[in-house]
Amino acid sequence: MPDRLSREERSAHMRRIRKANTNPELIVRRAAHRLGYRFRLHRQDLPGTPDLVFPRLRKVILVHGCFWHQHDACRLARKPKSRLDYWLPKLRRNTERDMEATAMLKRLGWDVLVLWECETASSDAIAIRIYSFLTG
């Protein structure tokens, strides 16, 4: 199997990557729902379009993919090996945009919890974090 994908194969692969309703997000949504919480999804009127919004509590949960949002010291957040002139600025912009959105949400009076893709491996641990955040 070749190490590099053709341009068409890479394009097809990238098209399959979703912005919303990702597996980590679905895990977080199921955990919050099992805890008895109801929420709104992807509120576009809020900075960063939070994944889960709990309006009555003024709390939001952002579910970040480790690669796309460059989770520090995470094996899933590996740096690309090719086209660094494209990927590094793109990933840097993503992290900058995340920080700006979080700061704006906090200025608007929202509490923010960021959950990472790698953390969703344990649904029990995620449920505990969500419960602590929403009750605290």
CATH number of the domain to which 124 belongs: 3.40.960.10
pLDDT band at 65 (very low <50, low <70, confident <90, very high): very high
Kindly indicate the confidence band of residue 94, based on its pLDDT and cuts at 50, 70 and 90: very high
User: How many Cβ atoms are within 10 Å of 22's Cβ, its own excluded?
Assistant: 18
Does residue 123 belong to any structural domain of this protein? yes
The number of folded domains in the chain is 1
Q: Is residue 107 part of a domain?
A: yes
Handedness of CA 20, 24, 25, 29 (dihedral sign): positive
Residue 1 has pLDDT above 50, yes or no: no
**Structural domain range at position 122:** 19-135
pLDDT of residue 73: 85
In a domain, 2, yes or no: no
Indicate if the pLDDT at residue 77 is higher than 90. Answer: no
In a domain, residue 23? The reply is yes
- Higher model confidence: residue 5 or residue 114? 114
Average pLDDT (76-105) is 93
17 pLDDT exceeds 90? no
pLDDT digits (tens, 9 = 90+) for 24-64: 999 999 999 999 999 999 999 999 999 999 999 999 999 99
Decide if 9 is inside a domain: no
Q: Is residue 1 part of a domain?
A: no
**65 in any annotated domain:** yes
Q: Is residue 62 part of a domain?
A: yes
Beta bridge partners of 59: 54, 111
Cα-based distances in Å from 83 to 3, 41, 86, 87: 15, 34, 5, 6
- For the chain, the average pLDDT equals 90
Residue 93 has pLDDT above 60, yes or no: yes
